[in-house]
Amino acid sequence: MKRLPTSIRELRRVPNHHWSYLERSGEFPFDAQAAGWTDANGWWLAELSFLAYVSRLDFARPILERVGFEGATWITREGTHLFLARAPEFAVVAFRGTLLNEPRNLLTDLRFGLAELEGLGRVHRGFKEALDLVWDDLRQRLDALPVGLPVWFTGHSLGAALATLAAGRWPGPGRRLCTFGSPRVGDASFADAFPLPDHPRVVHQNDLVTVLPPPIGYRHVGRVVHLKDDGSLADGTGFRGRLARNLKRRIPGFLARLGRPGDALDYLVQENVFTDHCPISYVIRSWNHLEAAMGGRSRTGSS
């Protein structure tokens, strides 16, 4: 079992050039034909969403080749960044999340007025405009893939929102979607029209971003896969249930450390609604769940 970093610097490190991406992928291969959640696919896609923060091709390309991708294309336009990687039996489109030192990403997040998206309803204006920057290039490359090839759209945070819009926008019959730490993306009309209503939308603990923008005018899409700190999954747990569980567990843990200020501070750094959102938290907890499930523990999450 891997442990989360105990320093804010390590928790927030993106891009992370020290992480061993998909280190044991050979033991847990990707299931190209799966239509929803599998433990191995969830871990793969969490790692690839984390890798999407890396813009250095000389760093990322050998990783993708090592795990079986035969080709990869990077697309970057005015703060929107993604890669499309092709393996023999499937492809992955992974969008980068928000970089705090990228002002254009922050402006994208804040443009939360609603705009129409091609018959799919109204969506977050900033997310739509960010996807528009790369859409023609991405659409051309997607359309060039073999018809029916499974294509997984994924991403973390802002990347999750862009992956959601891209999966809804591209009509390919092989499209799949799995997101991590996604904010709300559109309104009720978008949720009703969304073509992949039961895709896995992974929420780690009490990730604050997953309850934004507020539900006034916005509605989530997808099926919640609640990723817990103990290496288990809960299928479909709502926000109130997650909050009650985490307060019940975390308050005693903090109180028990009050006599040791250093321990109490480490606990607060590691266990809060902000660090719950860090991409490395999703990667580590996805791995811990996979390792536990393959070690004989029963699986509690599915989609």
Predicted structure pTM score: 0.87
Per-residue pLDDT tens digits for 221-234: 999 999 988 778 87
* 3-class DSSP state of 95: strand
Per-residue pLDDT tens digits for 39-49: 999 999 999 99
Kind of pairing between the strands at 151-156 and 91-95: parallel
| Beta strand extents in 1-135 (DSSP E only) | 71-77, 80-86, 91-95, 114-116, 122-124
Q: Whole-angstrom Cα distance, residue 296 to residue 81?
A: 38
Q: Poorest-confidence range of 76-85, 116-125, 263-272?
A: 263-272
Per-residue pLDDT tens digits for 132-171: 999 999 999 999 999 999 999 999 999 999 999 999 999 9
Average pLDDT of the segment spanning 201-227: 93
Residue 239: the pLDDT is 59
* 3-class DSSP state of 288: helix
Residue 231: the pLDDT is 74
Q: Whole-angstrom Cα distance, residue 294 to residue 303?
A: 18
| Beta strand extents in 113-183 (DSSP E only) | 114-116, 122-124, 151-156, 175-180
Q: Cβ contacts of residue 218 below 8 Å, gap of 6+?
A: 124, 184, 185, 186, 187
pLDDT range class, residue 238, cuts 50, 70, 90: low
Average pLDDT of the segment spanning 298-302: 36
Residue type, 98: T
* 3-class DSSP state of 223: strand
Average pLDDT of the segment spanning 14-36: 94
Report domain 35-294's class. alpha beta
Closest by alpha carbon to 93, among 126, 149, 49? 49
For residue 24, what are the β-bridge partners? Answer: none
The structure tokens listed for 55 are 């813009």
270 phi and psi, to 5 degrees?
-85, -25
Map out the domains of the chain as residue ranges. 35-294
Q: Whole-angstrom Cα distance, residue 201 to residue 280?
A: 17
